Amino acid sequence: MKLNGSQIVVECLKEQGVDTVFGYPGGAILNIYDELYKHSNEITHILTSHEQGASHAADGYARATGKVGVCLATSGPGATNLVTGIATAYMDSVPIVAITANVGVPLLGKDSFQEIDITGVTMPITKHNYIVKRVEDLADTIRNAFRIAKEGRPGPVLVDIPKDVTAAVTEYEAVIPEPIERKTDYVRTEDLEEAARLINESRKPFVLVGGGAVISDANKELKELVEKIQAPVGDTLMGKGAFDGIDEKYTGMAGMHGTKATNLGITECDLLIAVGVRFSDRVVGNASKFARNAKILHIDIDPAEINKNIMVDCSVQGDAREILKKLTPMVEKASHDQWLARIRELKEVYPLKYEQETLTGPAVMEEIYKVTDGDAIIVTDVGQHQMWAAQYYKYKEPHQLLTSGGLGTMGYGLGAAIGAKVGRPEKTVINIAGDGCFRMNMNEVATAARYNIPVIEVVINNHVLGMVRQWQNLFYGERYSATILNDSVDFVKLAEALGAVGMRITKRSELKEALEKAVSLGRPVVLDCQIDRDDKVFPMVPAGAPIEDVFDQDDLKKEK
């Protein structure tokens, strides 16, 4: 049958099972929006307050559901406003498809009104991108975009469609998408045998799990391996939930704000089994001294990550879940009682701790955990609150923590929380933000209120840019350059003005009741939690130092 380009876009979205898109209209994309209007009973469109919010919402939807998230924007500034969200998804391997419109083909390259070479702009931050200049190519391009976004190591794909292509007519025939198989092409028997040999010879194995284990949903297979070899387990920020955070073998997060038990465990182990980890600088610290007593086994889907940041002794390339299915039967059952006793000692001697009497970031996280029974989807922005959420909420399964780990995007959280709640309406969804981050995306409270999407925005409000101030306090002689936010902005009134419920919390005794009310209301809520401006995230590793140089507040007191 003959359809125009806009009809083809919508039909291809339906082919892919898309039920929700996030976006913001404009002149170049009007034809597509007109077609979406006609299919509003099949595809829900969420109008965000800003295109960046749409890209983050598509990201949050994808992370929470495991499906491809979709965002739409018009040409020029509409398209460029997606860039930060696309880069965020790229760094964290999140499958989204961004559909932008552009000026007509005859006007391309002529500095036309609201024209931008968005494929050129996004080339370094997409898995692939397209500009479709012939309507005959449109359907297959969109189908390829979804396949590329999802297969292998996921990532964002952008499709740019000139306006005249959205109006042009061609033949269209529906196609049922083929299932995307897990990548096992490069899983070699000799690699598995070498990996099994290293594990069997190890006396002090340590498992470190990253975002790849979450993406592959390898939690069941990971637990089977850990139980068989009796090894302690730490995770990266992106690996939260791949291994149960309340399991006795769990030691906490690794890296700059990781626990002493994990950082010292990695330093003392004789074999580090890294599953879906890219060995980022915030995890390894001084790369030349990382896990220097250990051999390293690296399991990852992307060959570009092998030996990129850390040289390893053995690697197995492919989907983490499929590799673990093959590897676990090949390893011998072990006990490692002495090694596990050492890890228990580290956990007992160096627990996470904080001031118990006052309202603090950690106190907020622990109370959120209690009120939600550890079953919420936690979204975060970036900064101190992000680290507290990683340290003090115990994640039991994959896709529970949605956070910008690679790009570190302030302003990510609220849009992502909206996307997550739309995708998983049965879940309580809570975004943890600092007051600096909240200022960057607080306009999306209006989006949540417009559609009555009951997300809970918890603002850890210390009236400063907390993480930057912490560095200024510890390493810059207390010169607080441009980090103080001590002004008269009232987040409670702001929430109410945007159509949400606002509550202020100034004492720890007020915390439980406010959180329970927020969860029960079924409306968007902003909780303004006032904490001290000099509360710090501990433990901490100085930039460039080996991770065993981790220190906490007790170490600072000893130095004084």
Mean pLDDT of the region 68-86: 98
Residue 228: exposed, middle, or buried by beta-carbon count in 10 A (0-12, 13-18, 19+)? middle
Whether residue 149 is found in the same domain as residue 11: yes
181: DSSP letter: P
Domain assignment of residue 182, yes or no: no
Q: How many domains does the chain fold into?
A: 3
Q: State whether residue 271 is helix, strand or coil.
A: strand
Q: Residue 144: pLDDT above 90?
A: yes
Whether residue 301 is found in the same domain as residue 414: no
Name the residue type at position 369.
Y
Mean pLDDT of the region 307-320: 98
Whether residue 341 is found in the same domain as residue 365: no
Domain assignment of residue 81, yes or no: yes
List Cα–Cα distances, 210 to 280, 299, 479, 554, in angstroms: 10, 10, 35, 29
Q: State whether residue 490 is helix, strand or coil.
A: coil
pLDDT at 120: 98
Spatial contact of 328 and 302, defined as CB atoms under 8 Å apart: no
Mean pLDDT of the region 386-396: 98
pTM given for the model? 0.97
Mean pLDDT of the region 152-167: 98
Whether residue 142 is found in the same domain as residue 291: no
pLDDT grade, residue 419 (50/70/90)? very high
Q: Residue 557: pLDDT above 90?
A: no
Q: State whether residue 29 is helix, strand or coil.
A: helix
Catalytic residue among 91, 467, 503, 540: 467
Q: Residue 454: pLDDT above 90?
A: yes
Q: Residue 63: pLDDT above 90?
A: yes
pLDDT, tens only, 272-304: 999 999 999 999 999 999 999 999 999 999 999
Q: Output the six-digit token pair for 512.
A: 């439980």
Whether residue 50 is found in the same domain as residue 163: yes
Catalytic residue among 11, 51, 305, 322: 51
pLDDT, tens only, 174-193: 999 999 999 888 899 999 99
CATH number for the domain harbouring residue 117? 3.40.50.970
Is 1 one of the annotated active-site residues of the chain? Answer: no
Is 51 one of the annotated active-site residues of the chain? Answer: yes
Q: Would the CA dihedral through 403, 407, 408, 413 be positive or negative?
A: negative
Of 322, 349, 376, the last residue of a domain is 349
pLDDT at 278: 97
Of 138, 171, 204, the last residue of a domain is 171
Domain assignment of residue 253, yes or no: yes
Closest to 396 measured CA to CA, from 235, 230, 283, 517: 235
Whether residue 344 is found in the same domain as residue 217: yes
Whole-number average pLDDT of the chain: 97
pLDDT at 184: 87
Whether residue 385 is found in the same domain as residue 278: no
Lowest mean pLDDT among 209-213, 349-353, 554-558: 554-558
CATH number for the domain harbouring residue 283? 3.40.50.1220
pLDDT, tens only, 22-49: 999 999 999 999 999 999 999 999 999 9
Domain assignment of residue 25, yes or no: yes
Whether residue 383 is found in the same domain as residue 454: yes
Catalytic residue among 38, 113, 311, 513: 113
Mean pLDDT of the region 450-469: 98
Is 163 one of the annotated active-site residues of the chain? Answer: yes
Of 349, 377, 397, the last residue of a domain is 349
Whether residue 141 is found in the same domain as residue 245: no
CB atoms within 10 A of CB 157: 28
- HSE, side-chain direction, 13 A CA sphere, residue 212: 28
Catalytic residue among 14, 15, 114, 510: 114
Spatial contact of 368 and 376, defined as CB atoms under 8 Å apart: yes
Mean pLDDT of the region 46-75: 98
Domain assignment of residue 196, yes or no: yes
Domain assignment of residue 215, yes or no: yes
Spatial contact of 142 and 172, defined as CB atoms under 8 Å apart: no
Beta carbons within 8 Å of 36's beta carbon, 6+ residues apart: 10, 21, 43, 45
DSSP string, 56-90: HHHHHHHHHHSSPEEEEE-STHHHHTTHHHHHHHH
Catalytic residue among 67, 127, 150, 163: 163
3-state per-residue secondary structure call for 461-484: ECCECHHHHHHHHHHCCCCCCCCE
Whether residue 340 is found in the same domain as residue 381: no
Q: State whether residue 171 is helix, strand or coil.
A: strand
**Residue 271 φ then ψ, to 5°:** -145, 125
Residue 396: exposed, middle, or buried by beta-carbon count in 10 A (0-12, 13-18, 19+)? middle
Closest to 114 measured CA to CA, from 75, 74, 147: 75
Q: Residue 437: pLDDT above 90?
A: yes
Whether residue 405 is found in the same domain as residue 278: no
Extract the runs of DSSP E, i.e. beta strands, from 16-150. 20-24, 44-47, 69-73, 96-102, 128-131
Closest to 118 measured CA to CA, from 31, 57, 9, 28: 28
Spatial contact of 445 and 500, defined as CB atoms under 8 Å apart: yes
Residue 331 CA to residue 369 CA, distance in Å, equals 36
Domain assignment of residue 494, yes or no: yes
List Cα–Cα distances, 273 to 117, 195, 207, in angstroms: 43, 9, 5
Domain assignment of residue 176, yes or no: no
Question: Domain limits at 212?
Answer: 189-349
Name the residue type at position 282.
R
pLDDT, tens only, 114-135: 999 999 999 999 999 999 999 9
Helices (H) and strands (E) in the chain, counts: 24, 20
pLDDT at 558: 82
Mean pLDDT of the region 342-357: 96
Lowest mean pLDDT among 74-83, 91-100, 439-448, 551-560: 551-560
Q: Residue 365: pLDDT above 90?
A: yes
Residue 527 CA to residue 367 CA, distance in Å, equals 13
Helix (H) or strand (E) holding 503: strand 501-505
Whether residue 384 is found in the same domain as residue 531: yes
pLDDT grade, residue 560 (50/70/90)? low
Helix (H) or strand (E) holding 444: helix 444-450
